Structures are given as structure tokens and as C-alpha cells.
Amino acid sequence: MTDVLWQPDRGDGTYQNPVLFCDYSDPDAIRVGDTYYMTASSFNYVPGLPILTSKDLVNWTLQNYALSNIPAPSYDSPRHAAGVWAPAIRYHEGYFYIFYGMPDEGIYMVRASDALGTWEAPVLVLPGKGLIDPCPFWDDDGCAYVVHAYARSRIGFKSFLGIFPISPDGKRALGDDHLLYDGTRAHPTLEGPKVYKRAGWYYIFAPAGGVTGGWQTVLRSRRIQGPYEDRVVLRQGDSPINGPHQGAWVETPGGESWFLHFQSRGLYGRVIHLQPMTWREDGWPVIGEAAEDETCGTPVEAWQKPEGLAERPCSLQASDAFAEGLGLQWQFMGNWRDDFFAVENGCLRLNVQRAGDRLWHCPQVLTQKLVCPAFTAEVTLDATGLHPGEQAGFGLVGAQVAYAALRRQAEGFTLVYVQSDGTAHEEHVLQEIAGMEGRITLRMTLLPTGDQTAAVTFEYAIDGKYRWLGSPFVPEEHTWVGVRMALFATRVDASRAECGYGVFSSFRVERVETLD
């Protein structure tokens, strides 16, 4: 086992994909100066709109979030699969902008002069159901636009792109939304548009065909309003990289072109790949590896690193000693408040809230993404601050929930192993051990059983010796989100009025080496 959880940088001038084995769905990226900035969908999880940075497009660090909470009381409880969808990040006249769609509310914008500082409060640019995947574009003549997609689940149709004008400061729509491109025949499920301009051409990069088996389309026109011609520039071909889907074209300071995109990996979520990109003499891009006369590339599994500044190989953070507050890798499942938690003296205190009795419905559940394919994770729990009728524990949340927890009852503590079904998320106790002390160490091990599947086991220790709990659990993704580890303190008996707390320390994640 090792502390380096996922290392794409081979240290010899090459890299391997994915560059982020982590669920950063619908990524978009830009370069400002010598730094690349990436953001991604965050759905109902907060803080939202992650900000990652890199100097070489291979080694990424999570640095900030642009959205502390979702400014709507309906997100005070988890609204799974709703919330913040498919953002686009841009830099314009001294400001970083992120536009994002909320499928039930409309298109929003946040901005900041410093991407790693505090972002301004969100502005609703255009209200409306089904408006998703917005990308702003500031043209050379001073006019500005948003190009976006549509969510059939909210508006009744998909595979079209729309456009509307916006004010130069990005804060409001200046005209009506209208259809820009019809992808229903050649590019079904066209979505996630990203707009660029090069050599007098307007380009819209947009994935189509669905996340598991689709392709990357590029549209181009001499006018922002079209008409557009189209070409498929990246598809799976004979590579093992399915999708390949939605992403961003970025250029190095020396003019190299690269493309970041996601790949759907089942329970692991949507992991990030980096592809070489070239421009043909006819003005069309080709992404991935392609023969000289081919117009469509296939994804690469490994390649030469981009030119430019070297960056020390790094790995996303997962472990947390709770020494300097709560690590950036943690997100709550719904809008959070100050009374949800406290961090002091190397301990995380999670306070029981009155809302929710099942994990799926509790905003105070603290989660983090998986960052490698195989690992063990353990945490020490002190449950003595709980009141009768409450529990605290460690688990995995996804299409189903599985967890180990100490429950306090009038006569003492009981250790439970719980799983839920994948429909109503009803929780079922599969093993129960009474007469426990209030302090315990819990451990989870996740091992892959295939490219997109895995089995999870839980163990506990009270004397340094681990013992098994239950039987192996097979997790699944839920909606468009990969499974997540979770720490929690919740109520089991809703009739109780008290609210206690659980204390967690020494959260440790270690990669497990597996045979490919």
C-alpha cells in the first residue's frame, strides 16, 4: 500500500490516462498565464464548482470552490441529480467567470478576480426549466452570447443547441433564447457545448451519442448564429476508453492544443482524460491519435506530456488528519450550516441534526469522491457524545448505501452493518453486535472486480484486531454521480428531541496495488 493514490505522471516525460481518476463530471478548463484552471459539475454536493489548478495539464490540485452553497432553500435537503450541471469557465477583462445550468431553475453565473479567492454571489442570467450546459462567448465586436443545451427531462426535448445574447458583464440576458443547431439526426443527445474562435471560424465542441458510447463532435461556422457544418473528431474506436465525452480545448503557451474530457467508469463516476489535439490544413481539429489522412482520432492511453512548465508529480488528497480545518476533498450532501461540524485538535465533530433519518435524505452527511480504483480507508470514531436514538459511522453512498455505525441505546452501544435498496433507499440492518464500547475504528476496503465494478468490505477494530462485518457489498453509481465515502452522525429514532455528536479522527486512505 502507498500514500500516492493515483499518479498519471510517469516521471519520464510521459503520462498515462486518466490524469484524474476521480469523478469530475463535465469538466471545463482554461489557461490564464502559465496556470490551467478546471471546474466540473457538482450537482447537489456543496461546496460546489470545484477549482483545480495545474501547470502541465497532467498533475492537478484541488484548490478552491466557487460556490459555498446553492442559494435556494430547496437544496437544504439533498436533491440528488439536481443542482449544478456542466459549467463553463472563462477569463474575460480581469474576471474569471463560471456559467452553469440548474435544470429546474435556469442559467447562473459566478465570477471572481482571483479564482483561488472568494467568488461573488451567483447571478441568475436567464431563468427557465431545461436550460443546461451554458458556455459564454465574448466576440471581437464586443457582443457576448451564451450557447447551451436542453434537458429533455425538464423541457421535453434534447439534442438541440440554443443561443441568447448577454450583457458584456455576463450578468443578464439581453434577448430571447432561440435554437441554434439541430443534432437530432446526425448527433443525438448533443449537449455540453463549448464555444471558441480561431482564424475567423466559430467552433462549438459538443459531445453526442450519450456518455457510455458517444463521440466528440465539432461544429463550425463563419457566423456565431450559423449555419454550422459538423464533423466527428474523436470516438472510441478500438481503444478501451468508452465515451469519450464532454470536455475542453486548451492551448499551451507554446501553441500546442490539448483536449480534456471525461470517461464514464460506472461506480467510479466520470474520470478525466487528456488527449493530444492537432489542427488539419482544412481548419478542422483532430483529437486523440489518428493517421495523417484521418479526420477522427481515437483516445490515447499514454502520451508525451504537454510542453511547458514542469510540475512536481502529485496526487489528489483523500486522507485527513483534521489538523487545519476540514480538507477540500469533503462535500456535504446538501446545503451546509456552521452547526453541522467543528474541527479542533485533530478531530472532526459532526453534530446530529433534526432533519432526516436515512442517510440519503440527510444534508449533513459528509462525503468525498473516490480518487483511485482500489484502496482501504479507515477512521477512528468516538460515539460517546451521542444521545440514545442516534448513530455515527462510516460508509459508502451511491445507488445504494452501505455503512457501519455505532448506535446509542438506553442500555449502551450497538454496532450495526446496514445496507439500503436502490429504489426507496430503505435501510436494512444486516448485522448487529450489542454490548460495544463507544470508541471504535472502522475500515472499508474497495477492490475492483472489473473495469467499472468493485466489491466493498467493512471491518471494525476495538483492540487493534480487525473483524469482518456483513458480506461484500457491490456498489453502483447513482444518476450521474460516482459512489462516495461518507462520515455521518444522524438520528435513528425521530421521536427523540436531543441532538448529540460523533467525533472522528485519523481518516486515512491508502491505495491497494492490484494486478491489471
What amino acid positions are annotated as catalytic residues?
A: 26, 191
Beta bridge partners, 419, equal 402, 428
Residue pair 502/382 in contact by the 8 Å Cβ criterion: yes
Residue pair 107/131 in contact by the 8 Å Cβ criterion: yes
Which element (helix H / strand E) includes 282? none
| Cα distance between the two ends of the chain | 16
Residue type, 81: A
Residues 397, 418: Cα–Cα separation, whole Å: 12
Q: Cβ neighbours of residue 450 under 8 Å, at least 6 residues apart? A: none
Residues 34, 28: Cα–Cα separation, whole Å: 17
- The order of strands in the sheet holding 95-102 is 85-92, 95-102, 106-112, 123-127
Residues 477, 456: Cα–Cα separation, whole Å: 14
Residues 110, 495: Cα–Cα separation, whole Å: 41
Residue pair 379/504 in contact by the 8 Å Cβ criterion: yes
Residue 511 C-alpha from the chain's centroid = 20
Q: Peptide bond preceding 47: is omega within 30 degrees of 0, i.e. cis?
A: yes
Residues 163, 177: Cα–Cα separation, whole Å: 6
Residue 357 C-alpha from the chain's centroid = 26
Residue pair 99/109 in contact by the 8 Å Cβ criterion: yes
Residues 119, 129: Cα–Cα separation, whole Å: 25
Rg (CA), the chain: 23
Coil vs helix vs strand at 153: helix
Q: Is the dihedral of CA 165, 40, 57, 248 positive or negative?
A: negative
Coil vs helix vs strand at 405: strand
Residue pair 84/132 in contact by the 8 Å Cβ criterion: no
Q: Are strands 106-112 and 427-436 parallel, antiparallel or unpaired?
A: unpaired
DSSP state of 200: T
DSSP state of 306: P
Distances (CA, A) of 372 to 21, 142, 375: 6, 44, 7
Three cell numbers at 260? 480534456
CB-CB neighbours of 3 under 10 Å: 11
Three cell numbers at 261? 474530457
